[in-house]
Structure 1
């Protein structure tokens, strides 16, 4: 399923918007009232995506844009670009110790 995260602006809490999401089987997710930090991580990601890639290119069509943005995320943002909150490591390097460690227990919830 698709999850759409937004703030609690009137355009996102309106009945018309909620019906549109329901019609397309999209689950709404909203930040807590008055808490601007809920969206901070994703907003920072999209700012980086726009300034480092999208605004530097002229795409011929939607498909070209999708391929280029996927390339940016997979081959640069996750594997090369350093993140200060991850100790100046790219996400793929930061997550390696966790990925290599077997889980303590396996959930029986299905």
Structure 2
């Protein structure tokens, strides 16, 4: 398994946090090793794929996915 150097991971985390803050979204307040917020997100993404993405594909564009998600 390939792993990113720590510096690149920290940069990615910093950039991601910057984007969240710019969008007015608070970053997760979980502690290191606390997977509860991740588990909720993984569950939500799984439902999204099962209920929308797989049954209604194939998708031709990102715009189609955005519209179906908004519906």
For 1:49 and 1:20, locate their aligned partners in 2 and report how far apart those are by CA, in whole Å.
22
Alignment coverage as a number of residue pairs: 57
1:38 corresponds to: 37
Where does the alignment leave 5 or more consecutive residues of structure 2 unmatched? 1-5
Max Rg structure: 1
TM-score, normalisation: structure 1 = 0.42
Q: Does the 8 Å contact 1:54/1:69 carry over to 2?
A: no
Where does the alignment leave 5 or more consecutive residues of structure 1 unmatched? 1-9, 72-110
Q: Deviations over 1:55-84 (max 9, x none)?
A: 22111111111011222xxxxxxxxxxxxx
More strand by share: 1
TM-score, normalisation: structure 2 = 0.60
